[in-house]
Chains A and B, each alone.
Chain A
């Protein structure tokens, strides 16, 4: 695609003038612009100076990817990890696991074999190509994550008398009513300034087809609207085979349910289907990365000081079990420690870098896993995967996408709380969180929810001892003032992680950040 003597922009402008926007878009896509990710394949690092060494701090995905690629490039790599496990926020809790949060509350996870809770990441967008690349390269089996289920429930304390309704009903009614209203606006000449007579005809045809309106442009109980919202009596066979349509809800309730929030959510780029999950739990990704770098990792190492000078980088760390203090030395350092933790570690990085590290607060989030004795959402409610949304603190319950149709138990996600709801749940004891999750989730499955509950586990990210928060929370102001300083190579040290990316709070961001960081660090090392 490269034409000597012509800049890329000149070329694109020429294509744009000749072929219009479609041709321009086609060309941009071919050239890597307008694509869904910045990923352009694994880095091609090679030719490290003989004996050159790197210390990687943190064995989350960013740290382990840095170690893997730098190792391949010829560096001598060592990883220091605070926990006794690798993977960082990529993590699954299984039966038999023990988890102690800050404050000392300890949970023994009692899930049945093969079932799990993903406390952190739990769904992978199809366009997170860096992550998908390494999953394939490292042998992580992926399966579909059922993101969009029209049969899930929508509950809002301010609509339908607090009773949940099916997403399909509320969404169909929202679209049908909006279509009808817009049709009325057209007929009442409210849009004459914007639309020609031909435009109006075409738009009315679109509204009729999209909103399931009848010939009079009305949205009401009939077999048209029933095709979207469902039936009072669905089509069947034999004598009573003829379907009976269902009655649309009052529009005021539909609007008050805020189903439009759920609808808009599903349209978010990062939430669009197809989505994936690893077979056996999200933690399988961390385990696969770990297999690639296992010999490099020192566990239970709490970093207390990072010091760099002309000679190299010295990292002081304490063994979390024995307390014994050791120094590790290397030529360079990739620091993949979350900012809230790094901010409290003594270091001699540049003042602007320190300000950047201190400037980014962390979000909170709470996830709760509930094991139910039987999969009543499947057998009783015909819900297979997907979510039921609520205006309560738990925000949603999400139905498992694996072991479908089994007679045995299922672990559902009983809460994915953020903001005020997450603070409220995080402040509770693990027992209180389960109680709150059962009380709130019962709104969707009254009678069965509590009855079938067997055992549960919760993770409140503000109390996770090794991150003390969920994800870096940038805003426009901090991005402008601090982002470039944060990602800049500071002599011998570079930071990596979701916090050093614009794909914040996603594994993809951690990986893209890591690849960019080590590419620049490698260049700097070769120039030394």
Chain B
């Protein structure tokens, strides 16, 4: 738990101000999307994460690879997936413009208890907020 707290503290310090990009490029030019956002961890996984990490959590392999979340030991430390969602890595964008603390807590809990992962302790919204410096 000590390392976890330290990790969370470090991330909170280093989290950049996530200025949302003017998207640039070709855009649809449509009205704001009115589809209700996902609420539960499972909904968030299916409606966001699955686009890259796949329905079975296995990721993918092409010219480069998308890491598998299935049986992923890095998920033991909840700060790791939370930080990944907050900051992104490489091609993966930060997802804080789509997901709030409750949704992030839900999906991290979901991923940590599915796809062959068995880290039973739920991640709370408060933990996520702390990492986000809120």
**Closest B-chain residue to A467, C-beta based?**
B63
Residues of A near B133 (CB, < 8 A) are none
B28 partner, pick from A358, A389, A420, A506, beta carbons under 8 A:
A389
Chain A: interface residue total (CB-CB under 8 A): 70
The 8 Å CB contact of B62, one of A157, A364, A391, A468, is A468
Which residues does chain A contribute within 8 Å of B46, judged by CB atoms? 427
**B54 and A361 contact, CB distance less than 8 A:** no
> CA A418 – CA B25 in complex, angstroms?
11
B23 interface residue (CB < 8 Å to A): yes
A270 to B26: give the CA distance in the assembly, Å: 8
Residues in A neighbouring B20, C-beta threshold 8 A: 475
- A-B interface contact total, Cβ < 8 Å: 171
The distance in angstroms between the C-alpha atoms of A463 and B52, with both chains bound, is: 6
A393 to B65, CA, bound (A): 27
B29:A420 contact, CB within 8 angstroms: no
B47 touches A424 (CB 8 A): yes
Q: CB distance A391 to B30 under 8 Å? A: yes
Given contacts A364-B51, A463-B51, A474-B24, contact A391 B90 (CB under 8 A): no
In the assembly, what is the distance between CA of A317 and CA of B25, in Å? 31
- Chain B positions within 8 Å of A, measured between CB atoms, are 16-17, 19-35, 37, 46-52, 54-55, 58, 60-66, 88-94, 98
Please give 13 more A-B residue pairs, beta carbons under 8 A apart, in addition to A395-B33, A427-B55, A468-B52: A123-B26, A268-B29, A338-B91, A362-B93, A364-B51, A390-B30, A420-B48, A423-B47, A463-B51, A465-B62, A465-B63, A468-B63, A506-B26
8 nearest A-B residue pairs (beta carbon) = A505-B25, A340-B91, A465-B62, A265-B29, A102-B60, A427-B50, A361-B93, A426-B51
CB<8 Å pairs between A and B, sample of 28: A123-B26, A154-B31, A157-B34, A257-B31, A261-B30, A337-B63, A340-B91, A341-B91, A343-B64, A344-B90, A363-B25, A387-B29, A390-B30, A391-B34, A392-B33, A393-B35, A417-B28, A418-B27, A420-B35, A424-B51, A427-B51, A468-B64, A474-B24, A476-B19, A477-B17, A504-B24, A505-B24, A505-B26
